[in-house]
Structure 1
Amino acid sequence: MGGSSQGSTAFNSMQALARALNEHSDTLRMTVEQTQGNVANMYQYDQGNIPAIATDNNTINKAVNETDRFNDEPVDNIGYQSFRFNGLDIFWVAVEGSGIESTADFAGKTVYPIQPGFGTRLLTEEVMRVAGMWEEVDIINVNTSDIPGAIEEGRVDAVAVYGSNRVELTGWAKQIDARNDVYLVDVADDFKQAIEEVGGARLAEIEPYGWNQEVTKVTDSIVSWNLDLQCLLGPEVPADAAHELARISHEHGETIREADQTYADHSDPADMATAVIPEHPVHPGVAEFYKEQDVWDDSWTVGDEA
C-alpha cells in the first residue's frame, strides 16, 4: 500500500490498518510504503510500482477528469475505490510577528501551502487560485519536515496545516506546535466563497484541537477546507483480499484506533461508503462487502477484475 510521507495522516492510518490485519486476519498482510504524497501516489500506481494506494477524493476527481496537474500529466490507470478511512481539516495559521490577522492580509507575504505532491497541497493551491490569492503571495516550497526550521529562520509568514477527523494534528503540524509560535487567523468572505466553489473541498467551521500552545489570540474558531481520504485498489488485488481489507476495517476499529486514534469509525459500514465517487468504479471485493452489508448504491459501478 502506498501511504504518504512519514508521519502523515494517510501513512499513519495505513500503518494502523496493517497492524489490525496482522492481528486479526488469517489471510491478508499489508506492507505500507513511504511515498511523496497522495498526488505522487497516483503516478506511482499508474507506472505499476504499487498495486494499491492511499489518496484523496480531490486528487481522484482531478485524475479522472484530467484537470489541473492531470491535464498536463494525465494518468492512464486509476485504481478502484474502496472506503473512506480518514478526513483532513485544512486551515491557516500565521507566524508570530508576521502582522497577519486575516487572509485579507496575505498579499506580499510568504506562504506555505503544504508540500508539493500532497493531495492537501493540490486542494489548497486550487482554493488559493480561485480566491485570487495565489498571484498575490510568495510561495515557499519545502518538505513538511523542513517547515519548522524555515519558520525559525524567518522565511515564512503563514502556513496551511491540517488535522485529522477533528481528533489531532498531523505529525508535522505537531512539530510546528512544538517549535514555532503560531496562531489562527480570520478567514475573509472571499476565501470562504472560494472554498465553497471548489468541488473537492468542504467548508467547515470547527473548534481548535490538538494545539499545546495558545493559538486563539485573533480568533477562537477554525475555518477549514476539508478533504476525504480513501484507498484505491488495483484490479490485480484479488477480490477476496479487498473484501478482507474492508471486513477488518469494519470489525476491528478498536485495534486500528489504538494505533491511530484519528482513523474513521467503521462500526457502521454505511460510514465507509460516504466518500464513494459515483463516476468511478468500486473494487469488486469491496463492492461485494457493501452489498453484503446492505449499503451498496445501485448508481455506483463495479470495476472489472484482472
Structure 2
Amino acid sequence: MSCNRRQFIRAVGVTGAVGMAGCIGGDIGGGSGISSDATDWSFGITREGTIGYVKASGWARVFDQADTEISLTLNTTGGSEEAYRLCAAGENHITRGTSAMGMASYNEESRPGANFGSDNAVPTVPQQVMAVSDLRPFWVTPDDSIQSIEDLQGKTVHNGAAGSRFVGAIPFDSIGLNNVELMQGDWSDIPFALEEGRVDAAYAYVMASGTSLPGWAEQLASMDNLRILEFSDSHVQKFQEDPYLNVTEVPVSEVFPFETNVDTVKSPTAQYQWYVHPDLSAENVQEFCEVSFNHVNELQGVHDALGLFNPEYAVEGLAKAPVHPGAAQWYRDNDLWNDDLIEG
C-alpha cells in the first residue's frame, strides 16, 4: 500500500482512521531512491567537531565491529534541519533530529527553526527509531544589567549556527518573547562575540546527564563574569505545556569552574533522536535497534551526551510522530512499546 502524508490526512478526513494502518510516513516505492533492503546506510549528520558528529561516529564504530550487515557512512550537512530534509528526500537513510522536527513535519506545522508548514512541508516524513540524547540549553551574559530572561527584551542574543536555529528560537517562541534579536553565526564565535560586546547574551548547552560544555564553548569557562539567566515560574509552566519541549535542571555550578550566580537552572530541553527513511525494511530497522541496544555500554562511553542512553530512555523520548514499524516491533518484543505512540 502506498500513501504519503497528505493522502493520509485527506483519507482520515473522509473515512476516519479505519483501514489506514501502515499509511503514515513515506510514499513506499515512490521513487525516493531508498532501497527497502539497503544495508549500507548513509548517515546524515552535522559537521565534524559537533557533539552530534561524535555520537554518530560512535554508532558507526559499533556497527563496524558488530556482527551485522548494516554499515553507517557519515554524510556531513549544514545543520540538523538540512540533515532531516535530506533524509526526507531520500538522500540519506538515517539522520539525527529533534522531536520538534518530527512533530512539526508530521503535522505540517511551523515553529521557529522548524518550518515545515505549507510549502515547506517535506515530501516524506522520516520516522523515529530511538531517542539517543537531549540538549539542555541555558543562556549566559557578562552584562550585570541583564538579570533574567525577561531582560533580554530588545537585546541581541547569539543563537549559534543557522542550521540549529530551533534550539534557541523555540523556547523564546514558547514564552512569547518575540522582540529578541537572534543572531546566527558559527558556534565558535560565541565567546568572542560576548567578550567584544557584539551581542548582549548567548546560548550555551550541555547534553543529557553530562556537565561538559561543547568544544566551542570551553572558552566560556574562563569568563568568570558570566551570569546564568533564569526563566520565571510562568515561563517554565509554558514549557511544560509545550509538546515540543521538556524541562530539566542543569547543574550550572558543575559546568563552570567558577562560582555561578545560581547553582541550577531550569532548561527548555529538546530531545534528539535517530530518524530513518520509511522505505527501509522493518527487518533491517529492527536489526538496527537490536545491535544498538546490545551495545549500550559502548555507546554510553562515546560521550557523556550518551550517558542516559538505554532502551527505556530511547522509547520514553519518542514524540507524537511516526515510529518506524521495525523499531515499534523491537519495542513490543521487549515490552517497551507505549500504545500512545504512533506506528508508521
2:161 corresponding residue in structure 1: 115
Please say if residues 112 and 156 of structure 1, whose CA atoms lie closer than 8 Å, have aligned partners that are also in contact: yes
Write the letter of the residue equivalent to 1:77: T
Structure 1 window deviating more from structure 2 (76-85 vs 172-181): it is 172-181
* CA radius of gyration, larger in: 2
Extract structure 1 runs of 4+ deviating beyond 6 A.
Answer: none
Structure 1 position 28 matched with structure 2 position 74? no
1:156 to 199, 217, 223: 199
1:205-216 superposed matches below 5 A: 205-208=249-252, 211-214=255-258, 216=260
1:85 to 126, 132, 138: 132
2:314 corresponding residue in structure 1: 272
1:146 corresponding residue in structure 2: 189
Alignment partner of 2:133: what SS? strand
Q: How far off is 1:301 after superposition?
A: 4.5
1:296 corresponding residue in structure 2: 337
Task: Note the alpha carbon deviations across 1:76-130, whole angstroms, 9 max, x for none.
Answer: 2111210111111111111x24532211321232112332221xx3253132134
1:132-281 superposed matches below 5 A: 132-135=176-179, 137-167=180-210, 168-177=212-221, 182-208=226-252, 211-214=255-258, 216=260, 218-267=261-310, 269-278=311-320, 280-281=321-322
CA distance in 1, matches of 2:319, 2:143: 43
TM score, norm. by length of structure 1: 0.86
1:207/1:265 Cα in 2 relative to 1: closer, same or farther (>3 Å)?
A: closer
Please say if residues 194 and 201 of structure 2, whose CA atoms lie closer than 8 Å, have aligned partners that are also in contact: no
CA distance in 2, matches of 1:6, 1:209: 29
CA distance in 2, matches of 1:163, 1:275: 17
2:40 corresponding residue in structure 1: none
Structure 1 window deviating more from structure 2 (249-258 vs 77-86): it is 249-258
CA distance in 1, matches of 2:249, 2:341: 31
Please say if residues 162 and 170 of structure 1, whose CA atoms lie closer than 8 Å, have aligned partners that are also in contact: yes
Please say if residues 252 and 264 of structure 2, whose CA atoms lie closer than 8 Å, have aligned partners that are also in contact: yes
Please say if residues 127 and 194 of structure 1, whose CA atoms lie closer than 8 Å, have aligned partners that are also in contact: no
Write the letter of the residue equivalent to 1:11: Y
**Mind listing any 5+ residue stretches in structure 1 that lack a counterpart?**
none
2:169 to 92, 111, 125: 125
Q: How far off is 1:60 after superposition?
A: 1.0
Write the letter of the residue equivalent to 2:158: Y
TM score, norm. by length of structure 2: 0.77
Identity in percent: 24
1:17 to 42, 55, 59: 59
CA distance in 2, matches of 1:178, 1:11: 25
Please say if residues 16 and 256 of structure 1, whose CA atoms lie closer than 8 Å, have aligned partners that are also in contact: yes
RMSD of Structure 2 on Structure 1 (CA)? 2.4
Alignment partner of 2:306: what SS? coil
Please say if residues 108 and 116 of structure 2, whose CA atoms lie closer than 8 Å, have aligned partners that are also in contact: yes
Alignment partner of 1:230: what SS? strand
Paired positions, count: 296
**Mind listing any 5+ residue stretches in structure 2 that lack a counterpart?**
1-42
Write the letter of the residue equivalent to 1:116: A
Structure 1 window deviating more from structure 2 (252-261 vs 169-178): it is 169-178
1:2 corresponding residue in structure 2: 44
Please say if residues 58 and 123 of structure 1, whose CA atoms lie closer than 8 Å, have aligned partners that are also in contact: no
